[in-house]
Amino acid sequence: MEPVIILVRPQMGENIGAAARAMLNFGLTELRLVAPRDGWPNPRAIAMASGAASQVLDRARVFGSLAGALEGIDLAYATTARGRELTKPVHTPASAMADARAASAEGRRVAVIFGPERAGLENDDVARANAIITVPVNPDFPSLNLAQAVLLTGYEWGRESLPAHPNPTARRPPGEAPASRIEIEKLADHYERQLDASGFFFPAEKAPGMKLNLRNLWSRLPLTRGDVQTLHGALRQLIRRHGN
């Protein structure tokens, strides 16, 4: 079962809407709100959520306190900025969601708690959680907004259910230097120019599509520097034998 997302004292409706949208990108639909500043429902939240309004916001439940919102939850994570609180296990989104998947598989319900914009969760809120999630960001520039923090949580929740490498890159032979992008571009140019001169791109209305296919072909191949030389040489030789 997917984690519940709990927003504690969220301020701007737009941010609630953006968080709902971030959730639904990764299939999360259960939202609980604790004392939203501007009441509920909130038209600005609905406007921002677009398609997530009906699937997430319309079903959101509102509570007066975090204790109430934790009803039915067995394992709760509080999200905080780096270094805020060190008396509990501190997770990255990755390690938290790995644990959350294990807990969920045992039938335990998981929630992730997010604090208000800027101020973040108060210590009393964090005290109710079993563990902390801190996104590892540049310590000199930590500027994730609420929806982005929710996004990374959803992304990590979903990552295991999705193949890491749906269509893996073919590998170059070990030890051989890869061709640079510019070498491959020059190779593509060379072939395109000569094939054009040879009348290959015919009929004219199909030429742009044919050229595009050919560019795609070269750039997706894991060519070595040696391969590129070979292919240039082959082309030159063909022209020498059969060309003008």
Which residue in the set 44, 84, 88, 186 belongs to the binding site for a second copy (CB under 8 A)?
A: 88
Binding-site size, a second copy (CB under 8 A): 75
Neighbours of 145 (CB within 10 A): 14
Nearest to 36 by CA among 65, 71, 56: 65
Identify the H or E element spanning 34: strand 31-34
Whichever of 127 and 234 has its CB closer to a second copy, that residue is 127
Q: Is 237 in the site for a second copy (CB under 8 A)?
A: no
Which residue in the set 11, 38, 55, 190 belongs to the binding site for a second copy (CB under 8 A)?
A: 55
Strands 90-91 and 131-133: parallel
Q: Pick the piece of the chain touching a second copy (CB under 8 A) from 7-15, 35-43, 113-121, 162-170.
A: 162-170
In whole angstroms, give the CA distance from residue 76 to residue 89: 12
Task: Tell me the closest approach of the beta carbon of residue 237 to a second copy, in angstroms.
Answer: 26
Q: Is 138 in the site for a second copy (CB under 8 A)?
A: yes
Q: Is 91 in the site for a second copy (CB under 8 A)?
A: yes
Question: What does the per-residue mask of binding to a second copy show for 191-220, with x meaning CB under 8 A?
Answer: ---------------------xx-xxx-xx
Q: Is 129 in the site for a second copy (CB under 8 A)?
A: yes
CA angle 160, 166, 168 (to 5 degrees): 125
Of 14-53, binders to a second copy (CB under 8 A) are 21-22, 24-27, 50-52
Whichever of 46 and 147 has its CB closer to a second copy, that residue is 147
Q: Is 229 in the site for a second copy (CB under 8 A)?
A: no
Q: Pick the piece of the chain touching a second copy (CB under 8 A) from 35-43, 112-120, 157-165, 231-239.
A: 157-165
Task: Tell me the closest approach of the beta carbon of residue 179 to a second copy, in angstroms.
Answer: 9
Which residue in the set 70, 187, 228, 231 belongs to the binding site for a second copy (CB under 8 A)?
A: 70
Whichever of 162 and 204 has its CB closer to a second copy, that residue is 162
In whole angstroms, give the CA distance from residue 61 to residue 79: 20
The amino acid sitting at 27 is G
**SS3 assignment for 137-152:** CCCCCCCCCHHHHHHH
Nearest to 158 by CA among 18, 6, 28: 28
**Residue pair 113/100 in contact by the 8 Å Cβ criterion:** no
